[in-house]
Chain A
């Protein structure tokens, strides 16, 4: 375990996307925030379901997407402030149909927007990253599928989206880690503990 004294404090945004409070995802998110706080980091929790987050990019937002002055809707002000302040983001979510839950996809669609996460006004085909603060992105997910299906048949679509699409466009110096708990609907306490230990290990590297 790391010693708090020797570490720098990191502003960490934990984004949680599961509707049930007694879910494995909530348990993992609690573990994440306990670990981070113990290590002395500043932790902000964005519980999308608890906030009743509206996932659909609105017509105004879409209309302004390619305009010189992108303007988010009022409900996005706080989520966007939090994204801008984050030096590390930890996402905790279930993988559904090998994709993000709609509410989390909506958080990306609506918060990772022009003038906030990237600039595309010079040339729409080359995005200029704007999230210069962001140094770490850790995606923690539970999925019912076995690992080989995700790796060989699907080609890890969720990991690829973060690693090759989102981060190169918005935060080039950001380190990405993906922790996937496979077959999560039929595992025992031992495997969950093994997984939380892996989470702790990865989080101890945040600086």
Chain B
């Protein structure tokens, strides 16, 4: 499968960067084709621009030139893996900006004439996995906040742009108190989730199978 891994942490020695490295290695080992959008390393500009907002509802949406490549990668992906820290129970601004600017009209969805709903365009996207670290304990996320990031990805974004996409979220809670054992367990959980996806969507790739 063609996998797009989107990473959104400013520090290369962070837990998130470590998890992203694990994800990428795992996917490559299974024979997937991996594309990486490391938003901080690319100095991704998160703010939807004047021109983008101005043309948002026009027949010809005019995205900034700096997001063209990111749009192509999103369009070609069969699988999306997001790796990010949860800050204030939301995406880091740079990742929110990736959704605001890359999941745009004509790419991720089309406006419909009635504007009652939007029409999905990412019909090739089959799987999405969100890997996140957060300082909060699990009960606050589940019981008080009711999993806002999970709901946002599943019900707001994927439901509108890729309704066929299966979504799984893996959260490492209390990540500021994390022990090496918990990181190892969490990586195992990630590997298990990723292992459910065969490298080829129709038939298994013989080369990749032989390597293993």
Contact = CB atoms under 8 A, between A and B. Distances in A.
B49 interface: yes
Interface stretch (B83-91, B163-171, B181-189, B202-210): B83-91
A105 B93 contact: yes
Given A19-B50, A57-B10, A153 B137 contact: no
Contact of A155 (B57, B146, B177): B146
Contacts of A164: 89, 144-145
Interface string A148-174: 000001110100110011100000000
B10 A62 contact: yes
Contacts of B14: 62
B89 A56 contact: no
B100 interface: yes
Contact of B93 (A55, A62, A96): A55
A102 interface: yes
Interface in B69-98: 87-94, 96-97
Nearest to A155: B146
A125 B94 CA distance: 25
Given A99-B96, A100-B90, A185-B115, A56 B174 contact: no
Contacts of A103: 46-48, 93, 97
Interface stretch (B21-29, B30-38, B125-133, B149-157): B149-157
Contacts of B88: 105, 108-109, 112, 161, 165-166
A57 B14 CA distance: 14
A153 to B, nearest CB: 5
Contacts of A106: 46-47, 93-94
Interface in A63-78: 63, 66
- The size class of the interface chain A forms with chain B is 35 or more
B47 A20 contact: no
A5 interface: no
A155 B148 contact: yes
A43 to B, nearest CB: 24
Nearest to B12: A59
Nearest to A98: B156
Contacts of A23: 53
Contacts of A186: 115
B135 interface: yes
A58 interface: yes
A55 B97 contact: yes
A105 B146 contact: no
A49 interface: yes
B148 A56 contact: no
B54 A102 contact: no
Given A20-B50, A124-B135, A98 B152 contact: yes
B99 interface: yes
A18 B57 CA distance: 15
Interface in B109-146: 115, 135, 137, 144-146
A61 B94 CA distance: 14
A102 B145 CA distance: 20
A55 B151 contact: no
Given A97-B100, A186-B115, A56 B92 contact: yes
Which 5 A-B residue pairs are closest in the complex by CB-CB distance? Answer: A102-B97, A106-B93, A102-B46, A55-B93, A157-B148
25 contacts: A19-B53, A19-B54, A49-B47, A53-B47, A55-B93, A56-B10, A56-B46, A58-B10, A59-B11, A61-B10, A97-B99, A97-B157, A99-B90, A99-B99, A105-B92, A106-B47, A124-B135, A157-B90, A160-B145, A160-B146, A160-B148, A161-B89, A164-B144, A185-B57, A185-B115
Given A102-B48, A110-B93, A165-B89, 19 more contacts: A20-B50, A23-B53, A56-B92, A57-B87, A66-B176, A96-B48, A97-B100, A97-B156, A99-B99, A99-B156, A102-B100, A105-B96, A106-B47, A106-B94, A124-B135, A153-B155, A154-B151, A154-B156, A165-B88
